[in-house]
Amino acid sequence: MAAALKVIEGEYLRDILHQPQALENTLETLDRSKELLDLASDLRKGMFQRIVLTGMGSSFHALHPLNLQLIGHGFTAVMVETSELVHYKHRFFDPKTLIIAASQSGQSAEMGRLAEVNRKRAAVIAVTNTPESPLVKHATAALFTQAGTEFSVSCKTYVTALMALKWLGDVLCQRDVKQTRRELRHAAPAVAAYLAGWKEYVLSLVQSLKDIRHLFFVGRGSSLSAVGTGALIVKESDHFYAEGMSSAAFRHGPLEMLSGETFVLVFSGDAKTRALNLRLLADIQQQGGCAALAGETATLECFRLADHGSSVRAILEILPIQMITLALAARAQREPGKFELASKVTTTE
């Protein structure tokens, strides 16, 4: 069976295994620039009426934890895909809006359009892996991830974006960033400890997913980052359809798809809604569906995550889905993450 893994031992796997180093590199360079502190001060003084969080693909999904943090702190925050923002929500482009734009490349078609439409009317904080990108040139302030180059599917860039966005949220919400740094120091070792068992996880998933044709990832709150990005990377990596949604939305229709060919990965998430997620898992299993829990109390080792609190949980939650992408590729004997129709940077609207 181990020979079946040969096909997946390429550049995508190397990127996955490099995630701990990328997280360490990013944490070392995160800082509070004068421009960022000035915007945080303006926000505190009430000079911005709203915060618009925008991005595309995994960069958009990565914004969920920050969105919840800002709203919980008392700010008016809204998430909008950049493609919708630049064509249908022009009223957000004014001096009373603070835009947080997340983009791995900073040079997608939508980010170019953002600069064109905004014309610096609204202040922009860029979160990107590319310092020389058009997005950074347009931005008022910027935070940079240190993921390095990436083969195709977002993995290093996604987890480092989550780290940078957590840092940004704590700066804007006036949290002690020394404490933030202490919390985020757990991320790289926790990811490395999980990835040490990648071969065993993939082999076990090849067996457990062998009859599965439909994949659902469900969760609530910050876990929406993992379920949204997870469904995206399965489609990109494996040409296998998967869907990510809230646990509540799964009850509104998709529950009808339960069968021996449908697998549902339920993220336990934080304490606030954990009981609801566990109830959904129990209901699926009671009705004969295939489902498993992902989180600190997961039964299966491949879905069990170390408990380092909410600052690190969002980063860890994507790891089991990365293992699923590798297992599906091994099952199909195809190289995971090799683009045939798409490209790393989307340059056409």
pLDDT tens per residue across span 233-279: 999 999 999 999 999 999 999 999 999 999 999 999 999 999 999 99
Q: In total, how many domains does the chain have?
A: 2
Query: 328 with 208, same domain?
Result: yes
Rounded to two decimals, what is the model's pTM?
0.97
Q: Residue 2 pLDDT more than 70?
A: no
pLDDT for the residue 344:
72
The verdict on residue 348 lying in a domain is no
Q: Which residue, among 30, 78, 58, has the nearest Cα to 159 in the 3D structure?
A: 58
pLDDT band at 1 (very low <50, low <70, confident <90, very high): low
Q: Note the pLDDT tens digit of each residue in 22-40.
A: 999 999 999 999 999 999 9
Question: Whole domain around residue 95: which residue ranges?
Answer: 16-188
Query: 174 with 203, same domain?
Result: no
What does the alpha-carbon distance between residue 219 and residue 101 come to, in Å, rounded to a whole number?
A: 24
Contact (Cβ atoms closer than 8 angstroms) between residue 126 and residue 143? yes
The verdict on residue 80 lying in a domain is yes
Query: 170 with 200, same domain?
Result: no
Task: List residues bridging with 126 in a β-sheet.
Answer: 101, 142
Cα 27 from chain centroid (whole Å)? 17
Tokens 């590729």 sit at which residue? 329
Query: 158 with 201, same domain?
Result: no
Query: 223 with 180, same domain?
Result: no
What does the alpha-carbon distance between residue 139 and residue 125 come to, in Å, rounded to a whole number?
A: 6
Query: 261 with 310, same domain?
Result: yes
Q: What percent of the chain has pLDDT over 90?
A: 95
Domain final residue, candidates 188, 212, 245: 188
Query: 294 with 221, same domain?
Result: yes
| pLDDT, average across residues 206-215 | 96
pLDDT for the residue 292:
98
Domain final residue, candidates 172, 188, 204: 188
Q: What is the CATH classification number for the domain harbouring 301?
A: 3.40.50.10490
Q: What percent of the chain has pLDDT over 70?
A: 99
The verdict on residue 28 lying in a domain is yes
With 0-12 / 13-18 / 19 or more C-beta atoms within 10 angstroms meaning exposed / middle / buried, residue 172 is buried
| pLDDT, average across residues 98-107 | 97
Query: 60 with 161, same domain?
Result: yes
Q: Note the pLDDT tens digit of each residue in 49-93.
A: 999 999 999 999 999 999 999 999 999 999 999 999 999 999 999
Q: Note the pLDDT tens digit of each residue in 114-167.
A: 999 999 999 999 999 999 999 999 999 999 999 999 999 999 999 999 999 999
Query: 199 with 174, same domain?
Result: no
| pLDDT, average across residues 179-205 | 98
Tokens 């595309």 sit at which residue? 56
Q: Where are the beta strands (DSSP E) in 180-261?
A: 214-219, 242-246
Q: Residue 307 pLDDT more than 80?
A: yes
Query: 248 with 204, same domain?
Result: yes
pLDDT for the residue 170:
98
Query: 37 with 171, same domain?
Result: yes
